[in-house]
Structure 1
Amino acid sequence: MKKNLIPLALGGLGIGTTEFVMMGLLPDIARDFNISIPVAGHLISAYALGVVIGAPLLVAISSSFEPKKILLALMTIFTLFNAFSAFAPNNTALLIARLFSGLPHGAFFGVGAVVASRLAQKGKQAQAISIMFAGLTIANLLIVPLGTYVGHHYSWRYTFGIVTLIGIITIIFIQLWLPKLPINRAGNIKSELALFKRTEAWLIILITAIGTGGLFAWISYIAPLMTEVSHFAANTVSYIMILAGFGMVVGNIIGGRLADKMEPVKACIVLLIAMATTLVLIFLLSGNQIASLILTFIAGALSIALATPIQILMIKTAAEAEMLGAAATQAAFNVGNALGAFFGGLPIAAGLGYASPSLVGACMALVGTAFGWMLIKRQKRVKSLESQLA
């Protein structure tokens, strides 16, 4: 691993921890603030909303600055509001802190993806970006379970203290190890926002929001799936989540290499078809514990394998606004999170059981695949027109 990519991985570690650890801390926060768990669940929604707002907004505002300065500013905002979360006196204050701590999330990954691709050797751009996302996967494998344990046995405030410490270390390493890169801005904010007038950009956003939303339809309800359908004991769910986290580590490596060896859009289609197949198998085989564990590992791998190909795809498509495009992709991931959880909950509410969200997820993944094929046809049409005009 290149030393100058380590700060990006550390940023991913902190961001991944604060995003996913909240799921395990909800009962503790609800008890401390004397609120219900559904009300505490708004803390997850507030963070996701912050990501969706902050990703395009902060990149658009800061794109005239040198990338290193942007990353320093984003990680400073992230660290300050996670520190505030640790001392939040009530649920309202924590809700506001979560909203603001989510603002830098998509922008950091968006700018970081562009920086990683510039620092990479030719033909190794996707693998460089996957190193940044490796921080997120390690967070799910190690730091999120640790933070959940600390929150349960000591205080959830200490968990946010851990995230704050990771943020401080990331700031130091960005300053020391990340090289200065030239500003690569072809136009102004208005010309960059023109990205959203392009059909290709919206197809990538739809692939991300709907296609990856299929995975969130499954993972949002994994706990009741494992306890009610697979019949695992409730106290084993955390270990099953570690298994999914290990799958993410492996999938991140696979996604990076796949995107370097084939066209990113084709890599996305391959992974989405694999995701749909896996989710159907989860629906059919979750009653078998061994099969359930194997499929959890595979689904975990596929959940993160898509991240790098999609980022590379958007960076190549939005050459004149690559940071804004990469950040928009991160916002789309969080839209997918919300859509998957919502649509996955509908069959449960209808009494169809806790395995049913997997079928919803498979359908969403296939819709994402359809948008991928539409993008390929669009690209071929554009190339054909360009060759005729040449």
Structure 2
Amino acid sequence: MSPAARRTTLAILALAVGGFAIGTTEFVTMGLLPQIAQGTGVDIATSGHYVSAYALGVVVGAPLIAVAFAKAPRKGLLMGLMGFFAVAHLAIVAADTYPTVMAARFLAGLPHGAFFGIGSVVAASLVSHQRRTAAVAAILGGLGVANVIGVPLATLLGQRFSWHLPYLLVGLVAVVTVGAIALWLPHQPPSGEESMRSEMQALRRPQVWLALLVGVVGFGGMFAMYSFITPTMTELAGLEERYIPWVLAAYGVGMVAGMVLSGRVANRVGVLKGIVVALGLIAVLLGVFGFAARTLWLAVVLVLVLGLLPSIVVPLLQTRLMDVAHEGQSLAAALNHSTLNTANALGAWLGSLVLAAGWGYGAPSLVGAGLAVLGVGVAVGSALLERRERAAGAASTPARPVEVTPATR
């Protein structure tokens, strides 16, 4: 490996470590809902709000940070985001009531989307055009590794010692990330084209809004079920709570596999077509999960597949947004995580509604299946609109053929 290639690998690895920290804190809450609920004096349905609070922080923070700091050097901005993330986790460690945990979780979510969005743009700039999706997937792969190692280990420690401990460890990993970025990421000055106005131009493009809507409704389905994975596995599948970390690890294995496959899917079938197919499979999986989960081994297999399919979609959506946003790539890439966490909040909220209504732990997955079907519909609508735009462009400029690439199918 040449020195330049080694430096690029280490730079992406530094960003992936940040992804590991973010993935651990985002998903460990779901594994520790019973402990956090007991520690803060609320019921399981209400404790789902802690998932929504973090997601709301992502939704609010991602666009504001991407726009407000459009002209900031990206390396320094990424370091600052991880530093704030570390401090916010100290606030979670100090919190022990419903209002304080809600507030601290909201603060912890603020840097999430901006870090992944800006980090994805940086990673894509370090590699060739054909390897963009793979580079983005490598950063998001930190989420997968978090679910294989970080979330199960943190859940185990939280169950045996204190639910505060995982958040302390996440804060320490965030500090390590700041150092790794400082050491390995090359200087990333603004290109001179970024500005608040140019970033906002992305919001004038219908395809950007359609891609964001795909993330909201498509992923809301997954989170409607996964937000309550611990009580679902214990109540429906009959699994002892001490084995929940292994279920979370299975989900993480699926995530890692999905991140690895996403680049190949983009190159072989195209970004948009890959999104449609994967969301359709998610809808089918969620439709049968509530019934299949009553068989333990089958429930574990479906959890693994539920980790795989959405993890194929996330890098595809990220690439799709960067393709259609043109001059507003940083904002669009950050908004991807806003929409995914809007989906997180929406799914957790809808799941808590059906649970509070007494419909049982099989109901959230059925709600999720309906949302995934809506996501397929939006993605198909986006493809039809793009086809119409291409046809209109070809009619107006017949001498200039339109080149169709896998990334824009």
Common fold by TM > 0.5 = yes
Q: Which residue of 2 aligns with 1:269?
A: 276
Which structure 2 residues correspond to residues 321-332 of structure 1 after superposition, within 5 A? 321-332=328-339
* RMSD, matched Cα: 2.2
Specify the code of the residue in structure 2 equivalent to 1:16. Answer: G
SS at match of 2:225: helix
Specify the code of the residue in structure 1 equivalent to 2:182. Answer: Q
Q: Which residue of 2 aligns with 1:120?
A: 127
SS at match of 2:113: helix
- How many residues in Structure 1 have an aligned counterpart in Structure 2? 390
Q: Which residue of 1 aligns with 2:114?
A: 107
Q: Which residue of 2 aligns with 1:220?
A: 227
Structure 2 CA distance for partners of 1:286 and 1:150, relative to 1, 3 Å: closer
| Equivalent residues of 2:89, 2:168 under 8 A apart | yes
SS at match of 1:186: coil
Post-superposition shift, 1:293? 2.1
Post-superposition shift, 1:171? 0.5
Post-superposition shift, 1:284? 4.1
Say which is worse superposed, 222-231 or 11-20, in terms of deviation. Answer: 222-231
Q: Which residue of 2 aligns with 1:23?
A: 30
| Among candidates 43, 56, 60, match of residue 49 of structure 1 | 56
| Among candidates 376, 379, 404, match of residue 369 of structure 1 | 376
Q: Which residue of 2 aligns with 1:244?
A: 251
Tell me if 1:190 matches 2:206.
no
| Among candidates 131, 134, 148, match of residue 141 of structure 1 | 148
Say which is worse superposed, 250-259 or 328-337, in terms of deviation. Answer: 250-259
Post-superposition shift, 1:290? 2.8
Structure 2 CA distance for partners of 1:302 and 1:209, relative to 1, 3 Å: same
Which structure 2 residues correspond to residues 169-318 of structure 1 after superposition, within 5 A? 169-184=176-191, 186=193, 188-318=195-325
The CA deviation string for residues 151-205 of structure 1, in whole angstroms up to 9 with x for no partner, is: 2323333322211110111001101101123424535313422322321111111
SS at match of 1:194: helix
The CA deviation string for residues 50-96 of structure 1, in whole angstroms up to 9 with x for no partner, is: 11100000010111112112111111111121123223475544433
CA distance, structure 2, for counterparts of residue 202 and residue 313 of structure 1: 11
Post-superposition shift, 1:348? 4.2
SS at match of 1:365: helix
| Equivalent residues of 2:12, 2:123 under 8 A apart | yes
| Equivalent residues of 2:66, 2:114 under 8 A apart | yes
Structure 2 CA distance for partners of 1:300 and 1:92, relative to 1, 3 Å: same
CA distance, structure 2, for counterparts of residue 3 and residue 191 of structure 1: 30
Q: Which residue of 1 aligns with 2:405?
A: none
Structure 2 CA distance for partners of 1:218 and 1:92, relative to 1, 3 Å: closer
| Equivalent residues of 2:30, 2:229 under 8 A apart | no
CA distance, structure 2, for counterparts of residue 362 and residue 36 of structure 1: 26
Q: Which residue of 2 aligns with 1:65?
A: 72
Post-superposition shift, 1:218? 2.0
Specify the code of the residue in structure 1 equivalent to 2:175. Answer: I
**Identity, % of aligned positions:** 35
CA distance, structure 2, for counterparts of residue 388 and residue 21 of structure 1: 53
| TM-score normalized with structure 2 length | 0.88
| Equivalent residues of 1:125, 1:260 under 8 A apart | no
CA distance, structure 2, for counterparts of residue 56 and residue 345 of structure 1: 27
CA distance, structure 2, for counterparts of residue 119 and residue 189 of structure 1: 23
| Equivalent residues of 1:124, 1:260 under 8 A apart | no
| Equivalent residues of 1:247, 1:300 under 8 A apart | yes
| Equivalent residues of 2:50, 2:102 under 8 A apart | yes
| Equivalent residues of 2:31, 2:155 under 8 A apart | yes
Specify the code of the residue in structure 1 equivalent to 2:288. Answer: L
Query: Structure 2: where are the runs of 5+ without partners?
Result: 1-5, 398-409
Post-superposition shift, 1:10? 0.4
Structure 2 CA distance for partners of 1:274 and 1:32, relative to 1, 3 Å: closer
SS at match of 1:318: helix
CA distance, structure 2, for counterparts of residue 33 and residue 295 of structure 1: 31
Tell me if 1:5 matches 2:12.
yes
Structure 2 CA distance for partners of 1:290 and 1:345, relative to 1, 3 Å: same
Structure 2 CA distance for partners of 1:201 and 1:353, relative to 1, 3 Å: same
Structure 2 CA distance for partners of 1:187 and 1:173, relative to 1, 3 Å: closer
Specify the code of the residue in structure 2 equivalent to 1:226. Answer: M
| TM-score normalized with structure 1 length | 0.92
CA distance, structure 1, for counterparts of residue 375 and residue 192 of structure 2: 31
Specify the code of the residue in structure 2 equivalent to 1:324. Answer: L
The CA deviation string for residues 280-309 of structure 1, in whole angstroms up to 9 with x for no partner, is: 232443333332222221112113221100
SS at match of 2:164: helix
CA distance, structure 2, for counterparts of residue 207 and residue 231 of structure 1: 34
Say which is worse superposed, 56-65 or 191-200, in terms of deviation. Answer: 191-200
Q: Which residue of 1 aligns with 2:402?
A: none
Say which is worse superposed, 4-13 or 345-354, in terms of deviation. Answer: 345-354
Structure 2 CA distance for partners of 1:185 and 1:315, relative to 1, 3 Å: farther
Q: Which residue of 1 aligns with 2:88?
A: 81
| Among candidates 327, 341, 348, match of residue 334 of structure 1 | 341
Post-superposition shift, 1:370? 0.9
Query: Structure 1: where are the runs of 5+ without partners?
Result: none
Specify the code of the residue in structure 1 equivalent to 2:215. Answer: T
| Equivalent residues of 1:20, 1:144 under 8 A apart | yes
Q: Which residue of 2 aligns with 1:155?
A: 162
